[in-house]
Amino acid sequence: MGGLTSEQVRRLREYLESRGLTFEELKADMLDHICCDVETFMEQGFSFEASIEKIKSQIPNNQFKKIQTETMEAIDKRIRITTILTYGSLGILLLAAVFKSLRLAGAGQMLILSFVGMTIALISSVLTNPLIKEKKRGRAVLSAIVMLLIMFLTSLCFQLLQFPGAPFLRVTSITLSIGLLSVYGFYSYLNPPHASRHMVIQYVKKNGLGIEKLLIFLLALGTGLKFLKDDPTFVIFFVLLFVPGGIFYFISSWQYYFDDQATKGRKLALLFISIMALALFLLPAVNSIDYRVRVLMGWSGFTMISLAISVYYFVSSTDRQKLLLGFFSLLVAMFGFFSLTGEAGFKDPAVSPYLSLIYNPIVLFGLLAMFVLYFRRPVFRALLIMALGLFIFNYPVPGI
C-alpha cells in the first residue's frame, strides 16, 4: 500500500464494505490484496480509476460475501470445538469433585482427564484466535502464556500420578510466567497505543466475564471439597483459581495504562504493585517453599492490590459509588493486613488472637453480600473473588 494515498486506500476500503465485507480481519486481508493489484495496474500505466474498474470486472458481485461466509463457517466450527472441549473438561472436573466428596473410585483419573481436556482446549483456542482477532500483534506472547499454562497443568497431572518432574515443571512454569508477564507489563506501560491492539489484551477484554465465571466455578468446587472435610485434593482447585486468576487479573490491570486521564506516576505505581502482587500470588504454588512463607506471600500480595484498588476508587474512578467502593476495598485490605499480622492460616487458633476475629461466618457472609451487590463492578468483583478464595482456602477446618 506504499504507492497509494490514504484517500485511495479509503476508497478501496469503502468498495469492499459496499460488497458486504464486515469481518475486519478478512477485510484487512482483502484490502491488502486489492491495493497490491491496483498498484500493479498503475505501474503498467493505468490510472487509479481505470485500475479499480479492471479489478471490479474480474470479481463477481457476490464473491466477497461468499468468501466471508465460508471463512465465518470455518471459524464457527473451530470455536464450537473449543467450546465443547472447555465445557466437557469442566463437566469432568465437576464429576471429579462429586466423586471425591462421595469417596468413590475414579476421581483422580477424572481430574487428570479434565486437565488433558483443558490443555487441548487451550491449544485449540490459540489456533483459532489468529483468525478471529482484528490484529495479529501479540500472537507470540499469547501463545507463550498458553504454553506456560499447559506446562502448569502438566505439573498438576504429574503430581497426581506421582511422576518425577512435577516440581521442575511447576517451578519453571511459574518463574517463566512471572518473568514474561513482568516484561510485557513494562511494554504495555511504555507503549500503551500499540499494546492496546495486541491479541493478549483483546482476548482478555473479549473473554473476561467467561474467565471470571470459570474462576467462580473453581472457587465453588474447592469450597465444597474443603468444607465436606475431604482429603487435601481441594488444594488443587484453589491452585487453579490463584495461578490462572492471578495472571488474568494482572493482564486486566494493563487497561489502566491506556487511560489518557491517568498520570504517569499512578500508572508506574500500579505497574510495580501489580508485578509484586503477581509474583506473591504465583510463587505460593511452588511446593518447595515453606508453608508459612507461602501463606505470607499470598496475603501480602492480596493486601497490596487491595490498597491499590482502594486508592483507585478514591482518586481515579468515575463510579457513582466510588467512595463506598473505596471504603469497602479498604476494609478488605485491612482484612488482609490482619491475616498477615495474625499469621492466619497456620491451622492453630492459639497462634493469634486475630484468627477467631477474622475467620468466622459473619466475615464470610459480609464478603458474599458485597460480591452479590457489586458483581457488576469488574474491579471490585476481581478483588472479592480473590478475597473469598484466600479466606476459604485458609479457613481453619478441624481435620484438614
What are the residue boundaries of the structural domains of the chain, listed by start?
Answer: 6-59, 73-270, 290-400
Percent of residues, the chain, with pLDDT higher than 70:
85
| 380 burial type by CB count under 10 A (0-12 exposed, 13-18 middle, 19+ buried) | buried
Q: Per-residue confidence at 1, pLDDT binned at 50, 70, 90?
A: very low
pLDDT band, very low/low/confident/very high, at 364 (cuts 50, 70, 90): confident
- Residue 234 contacts residue 101 (beta carbons within 8 Å): no
Average pLDDT over residues 243-272: 88
Q: How far is CA 378 from the centre of its chain?
A: 13
State the average pLDDT for the chain.
Answer: 81
pLDDT at 71: 65
Dmax (CA) of the chain: 90
Is residue 173 within 8 Å of 181, Cβ to Cβ?
no
Lowest mean pLDDT among 5-9, 68-72, 92-96, 117-121: 68-72
* pLDDT score, position 79: 63
Compute the C-alpha angle 46/49/55, nearest 5°.
Answer: 80
Highest mean pLDDT out of 7-21, 28-42, 145-159, 167-181: 167-181
Band the pLDDT of 161: cuts 50, 70, 90: confident
* 140 C-beta neighbours (distance < 10 Å), count: 11
Pick from 30-34, 77-81, 200-204, 208-212 the range whose average pLDDT is largest.
Answer: 208-212
DSSP 8-state class, residue 354 = T
List, in sequence order, the alpha helices (H) in 191-233: 192-195, 199-227
Q: What's the predicted TM-score (pTM) here?
A: 0.76
Please give the Cα distance from 221 to 319 (Å, whole number).
32
What CA–CA distance (Å, rounded) separates 367 from 387? 8
Secondary structure letter of residue 312 according to DSSP: I
Query: Does pLDDT of 75 surpass 80?
Result: no
Residues 364 and 97: their CA atoms lie apart, in Å, by 22
| CA dihedral for 293, 298, 301, 304, sign (positive or negative) | negative
Q: Check if the beta carbon of residue 305 is closer than 8 Å to that of residue 272.
A: no
For the chain, the helix, strand and coil percentages under 3-state DSSP, each to the nearest 5: 80, 0, 20
